């Protein structure tokens, strides 16, 4: 059966490492308060690069790893909720910067589920169009959307990018998925609202920062993520025990612990790096996958479950053989 496979991974973190203690100097918080509630110790904040810059760095590294020239690419998808512009898309900027003139390029907005959504879409497009090579990247500079006076949200987010090379394969690699959207809960996590104006000359061009009902989002994640993983396993014809590694969106360490418990799986199957990166939204799963691959935590032939959840509200699980 013709399918696609992941043949390279890459990540980049923003340049400025910010600790909890540093944040405690500009807002009413502490390292103990943040760590206890989220598991976050540090996060990377960009002071010199925008979303397209981080994504382009990842794209260049991926192409170097597989020794492809940019003109070989058929498709570029960037999952992001913090683009440089409303137009052009981040993916179009990457296509231009790389010189990938033959690649179809577009962004996908599904917040923290974006990378899993993008993998599913890229796989479908490669198979449907008889294409063979794609870049799939998750990239965020969320610091652009943070209200630094709101300690409930400002301490959570970080900037970075991660991505993969997808190429066609003769054997099946992507074995199950579950993608869901819960639009009725969308107001529980919002950012970047653009208000319209009735006065023609009075557009303010301002965006709202992150606003989140943390309790409701936590409840959503702890209930929906285990169900999504179980649904994807059912489609794949496997049990939760047969998953070698669960790479979950890094939103909160307690959420990950709860999901492991609900699935009756050992926590050592759930790598965690939120302590260093914070919540990087659509970049989160890609950064974690690349880090696990670099450290040998994830090995070829193992079965991986990627699961994202967040704004929309959305939830997405993709199961594949690495």
The span from the CA of 138 to the CA of 164, in Å, is 9
Give yes or no for a contact between 111 and 189, defined as CB atoms under 8 angstroms apart: yes
Structure confidence at residue 151 (pLDDT): 83
Residue 317: pLDDT band with limits 50, 70, 90: very high
What average pLDDT does this structure show over 302-319? 97
SS3 per residue for the chain: CCEEEEEEEEEEECCEEEEHHHHCCCCCCCHHHHHHHHCCCEEEECCCCCHHHHHHHHHHHHHHHHCCCHHHCCEEEEECCCCCCCCCCHHHHHHHHHCCCCCEEEEECCHHHHHHHHHHHHHHHHHHHCCCEEEEEEEEEHHHHCCCCCHHHHCCECEEEEEEEEEEECCCCEEEEEEEECHHHHHHEECCCCCCCCCCCCCCCCCCCCEECHHHHHHHHHHHHHHHHHHHHHHHCCCHHHCCEEEECCCCHHHHHHHHHHCCCCHHHCCCCHHHHCECHHHHHHHHHHHHHHCCCCCCCCEEEEEEEECCCEEEEEEEEC
The Cα 257–Cα 247 span in angstroms is 12
Comparing 211 with 196, the larger pLDDT belongs to 211
Amino acid 200: pLDDT:
64
Average pLDDT over residues 282-293: 98
- pLDDT tens digits, one per residue of 122-133: 999 999 999 999
- Common-topology check for domains 3-172 and 175-321: yes
Mean pLDDT of 258-276: 97
Q: How many CB atoms lie within 10 A of CB 268?
A: 8
Residue 202 has pLDDT above 90, yes or no: no
Range with lowest mean pLDDT among 60-74, 186-200, 212-226: 186-200
Q: What is the mean pLDDT of the chain?
A: 94
pLDDT at 150: 87
Q: What pLDDT is stored for residue 130 in this prediction?
A: 95
Q: Does domain 3-172 have CATH number 3.40.47.10?
A: yes
Task: Convert the pLDDT of each residue in 131-142 to its tens digit.
Answer: 999 999 999 999
pLDDT confidence of residue 236: 97
Residues above pLDDT 70, as percent of the chain: 98
Q: How do beta strands 303-310 and 314-321 pair?
A: antiparallel
Residue 197 pLDDT level (bands cut at 50, 70, 90): confident
Is 260's pLDDT higher than 90?
A: yes
pLDDT of 269: 98
Q: How many Cα atoms sit within 13 Å of 292 on the Cβ side? A: 27
Q: Is the pLDDT of residue 1 over 90?
A: no
- Say whether pLDDT at 201 is over 70: no
> What would the pLDDT profile of 218-247 be if each residue is shown by its tens digit?
999 999 999 999 999 999 999 999 999 999
The count of residues in the chain is 322
- Check residue 233 and give its pLDDT: 98
* CATH superfamily label, 175-321: Thiolase/Chalcone synthase (3.40.47.10)
Residue 198: per-residue pLDDT: 66
Q: What pLDDT is attached to residue 195?
A: 78
4-30 mean pLDDT: 95
Catalytic site positions: 112, 249, 279
Which has more confidence, 155 or 201?
155
Percent of the chain with pLDDT strictly greater than 90: 88
CB-CB neighbours of 41 under 10 Å: 16
Query: What global pTM score does this model have?
Result: 0.95
Angle between helices 253-262 and 214-236 (to 10 degrees): 40
Q: How far apart are CA 265 and CA 164, in angstroms?
A: 27
Domain boundaries, the chain: 3-172, 175-321
pLDDT of residue 286: 98
- Summarize pLDDT for 81-137 with one digit per residue, the tens: 999 999 999 999 999 999 999 999 999 999 999 999 999 999 999 999 999 999 999
Q: Give the Cα separation of 139 and 202 in Å (integer).
A: 32
């Amino acid at each position: 059966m013709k399918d696609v496979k992941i043949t390279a991974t890459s990540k980049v973190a923003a340049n400025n490492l910010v600790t909890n203690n540093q944040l405690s100097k500009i807002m009413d918080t502490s390292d103990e308060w943040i760590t206890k509630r989220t598991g976050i110790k540090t996060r990377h904040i960009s002071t010199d690069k925008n979303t397209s810059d981080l994504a382009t760095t990842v794209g260049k590294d991926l192409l170097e790893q597989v020794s492809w020239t940019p003109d070989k690419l058929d498709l570029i998808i960037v999952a992001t909720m913090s683009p440089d512009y409303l137009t052009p898309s981040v993916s179009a900027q990457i296509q231009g910067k790389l010189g990938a003139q033959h690649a179809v390029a577009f962004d996908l907005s599904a917040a923290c589920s974006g990378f899993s959504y993008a993998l599913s879409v890229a796989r479908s497009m490669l198979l449907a169009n008889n294409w063979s090579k794609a870049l799939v990247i998750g990239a965020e500079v969320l610091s652009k959307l943070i209200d630094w006076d709101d300690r409930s949200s400002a301490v959570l987010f970080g900037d970075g990018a991660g991505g993969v090379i997808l190429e066609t394969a003769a054997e099946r690699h992507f074995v199950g998925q579950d993608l869901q959207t819960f639009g009725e809960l969308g107001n529980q996590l919002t950012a970047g609202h653009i208000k319209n104006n009735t006065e023609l000359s009075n557009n303010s061009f301002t965006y709202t920062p992150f606003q989140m009902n943390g309790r409701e989002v936590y409840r959503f994640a702890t209930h929906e993520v285990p169900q999504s993983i179980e649904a994807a396993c059912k489609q794949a014809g496997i049990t939760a025990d047969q998953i070698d590694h669960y790479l979950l969106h890094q939103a909160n360490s307690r959420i990950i612990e709860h999901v492991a418990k609900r699935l009756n799986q050992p926590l050592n199957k759930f790598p965690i790096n939120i302590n260093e990166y914070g919540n990087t939204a659509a970049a989160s799963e890609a950064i974690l996958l690349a880090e696990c691959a670099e450290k040998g935590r994830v090995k070829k032939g193992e079965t991986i479950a990627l699961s994202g959840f967040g704004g929309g509200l959305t939830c997405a699980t993709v199961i594949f053989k690495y």
